[in-house]
Amino acid sequence: MDELLPPVKLISTGLQHVAAMYAGVVAPPLIVGAGVGLSPAELALLISASLFTAGLATLLQTLGVWRIGARLPFVNGVSFAGVAPMLAIAKEHGPKNALPVIFGAVIVAGVLCFLAAPYFSKLIRFFPPVVQGTVITLIGVSLLPVAVNWARGGAPGAPGYGSMKAIGLAAFTLAAVVLCNKLLRGFWQQLSLLVGLAAGTLLAFPLGLADFGAVRQAKIFALPSPFHFGAPVFDAAAIVSFCIVMVVSMTESTADMLALGRIVEREADERTLTAGLRADGLASALSPVFNGFACSAFAQNIGLVALTKIRSRFVVAAGGGILILLGLFPVLGSLVSLVPQPVLGGAGIVLFGTVAASGIRTLAEAGMESGGNTILVSVALGVGIVPIAAPDFYDAFPEAVRTLMHSGISAGCVMAVLLNLLFHHVGVGRRSPAGETPGATVPTATPS
């Protein structure tokens, strides 16, 4: 993970990480910007701010400062968990006042995350391999519907959504990634995703699914303007709402760090989790200064690490540098945005499926002969799949419950931890002090 690759390999593999997560970074500002009625120019500024702050957060995670940053090949970006609360704030406070209230709530929630990191990371003892494997599997399974929607054209209602053109383009991209992984060798095999994305995008032009309109309209250079939408406003209800979102994000980031640690064969111990969560908190607290939102882990990039087997954290740091450039040079960001949604969908099936496969491999090592572990996995997976199969299932519940349970990852993670407590830590059902089966290990903190 500490290997520094030659410049060409560093930049090309870093660009793969940007391509894998670009759509996830720009989606929240697009949705929130439309919700608060921003003009096209202001919306472009909000997107650039999200790219810029995602780059800063990724550099903080990968390179680290003091005891901040997991120093894993760990990508950070705008958390999608905050979209629903932000739209609710916009509805309550009105479009003109919404962004300052959102920024104030994100700052406070980020500070809370930073301060709570050492205490939250102590929960690692409740994440034995059986819990880790369940959550890693859920991360992949939860992301697959996103890839399917991308493959169909983005979202219901989008032009050409579900057309044979879109689905055929996604299938072509999927086939290109698989064949490149099979036929290419060495460094080019590691670039199979990027080659597949490029092939799919080139095919999209004659099909009419891609054009250079966004490139022609984009500004060449734009410096971030601190608090462009106004000074932060600290509203109590908005702050409580975002603190709940931050707890959900911390749960997902913890699960993602554990998953990544497994994939790169360097277990994420308590100290690593603390440093990673501190980076989440600090990045989220600073992000609103540059008109960005709360930051958290991007699970799709874990699949890329597993697929390419490139574990260097400096590769992801290069991706963070590219994100900063995309934020400062909107014309470069528009070039990346040329990749159509169906192309991302085809590649996403490989990426997200790889994450699920990593979870299944972890479960195979966790001792599934235990009846308690079988129940734990089956129930946690079932609960985690509920919001995927029925997105409106929790609509009648209180807002705090909806925020937690609308994410299949956080819902399944909470259920897995609770069942682990029941079967391995409480009463006669206890199996071992660490909540694991014989032969399984749980990472422990290294001395500070």
CA 266 centroid distance within chain: 20
Q: Dihedral sign for Cα 313, 314, 315, 318, please.
A: positive
- Distance, in Å, from the CA atom of 173 to the CA atom of 276, rounded to the nearest integer, reads 34
**What integer pLDDT is reported at residue 333 of this predicted model?**
67
Task: Work out the burial of residue 157: count CB atoms within 10 Å of its CB; fewer than 13 is exposed, 13-18 middle, 19 or more buried.
Answer: exposed
Task: Work out the burial of residue 367: count CB atoms within 10 Å of its CB; fewer than 13 is exposed, 13-18 middle, 19 or more buried.
Answer: middle
**What integer pLDDT is reported at residue 14 of this predicted model?**
92
Please report, as a single letter, which amino acid is at residue 350: V
**What integer pLDDT is reported at residue 22 of this predicted model?**
78
Least confident of 42-56, 342-356, 373-387: 342-356
Average pLDDT in the 285-292 region? 94
Give me the percent of the chain exceeding a pLDDT of 70: 92
- Distance, in Å, from the CA atom of 159 to the CA atom of 163, rounded to the nearest integer, reads 9
pLDDT class of 433 with cuts at 50, 70, 90: very low
- Distance, in Å, from the CA atom of 55 to the CA atom of 71, rounded to the nearest integer, reads 15
**What integer pLDDT is reported at residue 150 of this predicted model?**
83
Least confident of 66-80, 231-245, 368-382, 421-435: 421-435
Residue 1 scores a pLDDT above 60: yes
Residue identified by tokens 């059986």 is 130
Mean pLDDT of the chain: 84
From first CA to last CA, the distance across the chain in angstroms is 21
Average pLDDT in the 397-423 region? 82
What distances in angstroms separate CA 92 from CA 41, 87, 121, 181, 238, one per listed residue?
Answer: 24, 9, 34, 50, 10
User: For 163-183, how does the pLDDT look when each residue is reduced to its tens digit (9 = 90+)?
Assistant: 999 999 999 999 999 999 888
Q: Which is more confident, 233 or 298?
A: 233
Least confident of 155-164, 286-295, 373-382, 422-431: 422-431
Q: Dihedral sign for Cα 49, 51, 52, 54, please.
A: positive
**What integer pLDDT is reported at residue 439 of this predicted model?**
38
User: For 20-38, how does the pLDDT look when each residue is reduced to its tens digit (9 = 90+)?
Assistant: 787 778 878 877 886 787 7
Contact 353, 304 (CB under 8 A): no
Residue 337 scores a pLDDT above 70: no
CA 289 centroid distance within chain: 22
- Distance, in Å, from the CA atom of 189 to the CA atom of 331, rounded to the nearest integer, reads 29
Residue 128 scores a pLDDT above 90: no
Contact 294, 25 (CB under 8 A): no
